[in-house]
Structure 1
Amino acid sequence: MTAASVDTLCVRLRARLVAEQLGPGDRLGDERSLAEQLGVPRGQLRAALDRLEAQGLVRRTIGRGGGVQVTDGRIERNLNTIEGLPDIARYQGFHVDTRVLRVELTTAGARERRLLRLPEGATVHRLSRLRLADGRPLSLEESHLPADLFPGLAAQDLGSLYRTLRTVYGVEPEYSDESLELAFADHDQAALLEVDVGSPLVHVRRTATGTGGRPIEAAHEHFVGTRMRFHLRKYGYVHPSTTPPDQLTQPAQHPAQHPAQHQNPRRTS
Structure 2
Amino acid sequence: MNIAEFLEPSAWYRPDAGPRYVQLRRRLSDGVSQGVLAPGSPLPPEREIAAITDFSRVTVRKAIQALADEGTVIQRQGSGSYISSQPERIEQKLSRLTSFSEDMARRGKNSTSRWLERGLFMPSPDEMTALGLSADDSVARLVRLRLANGEPMAIERASLPTDILPNPLLVETSLYEVLERAGHRPIRALQKISAVNLRESEAELLAVTPKDAGLRIERTSYLANGRVAEFTQSLYRGDAYNFVAELRLSKD
TM norm structure 1 = 0.58
Match for 2:114 among 77, 99, 103? 99
Write out per-residue CA displacement over residues 138-177 of structure 1, whole angstroms, 9 at most, x where no aligned residue: 00000111112221222x133211111111x211112100
Distance in 2 (alpha carbons) for counterparts of 1:233 and 1:93 = 24
Match for 1:144 among 146, 156, 159? 159
Distance in 1 (alpha carbons) for counterparts of 2:135 and 2:202 = 31
Distance in 1 (alpha carbons) for counterparts of 2:149 and 2:193 = 24
1:116 is matched with 131
TM norm structure 2 = 0.62
Give the structure with higher Rg (CA): 2
Alignment of 1:199-214 (within 5 A): 199-214=212-227
Distance in 1 (alpha carbons) for counterparts of 2:248 and 2:135 = 39
Confirm whether residue 135 of structure 1 aligns to residue 150 of structure 2: yes
Alpha carbons 1:102, 1:129 under 8 Å: kept: yes
Distance in 1 (alpha carbons) for counterparts of 2:118 and 2:176 = 16
Over the matched positions of the two proteins, sequence identity in percent amounts to: 26
1:215 is matched with 228
Report the count of equivalent residues.
166
Q: Any stretches of 5+ residues in structure 1 without a counterpart?
A: 1-71, 240-269
Greater relative CO, 1 or 2 (CA 8 Å, sep 6+): 1
- Could you say if the C-alpha distance between residues 157 and 104 of structure 1 is closer, same or farther in structure 2, counting changes exceeding 3 Å? closer
Secondary structure of the corresponding residue to residue 88 of structure 1? helix
Distance in 2 (alpha carbons) for counterparts of 1:211 and 1:203 = 26
Distance in 2 (alpha carbons) for counterparts of 1:100 and 1:137 = 13
Distance in 1 (alpha carbons) for counterparts of 2:167 and 2:210 = 36
2:172 is matched with 158
Distance in 2 (alpha carbons) for counterparts of 1:165 and 1:238 = 38
Alpha carbons 1:130, 1:139 under 8 Å: kept: yes
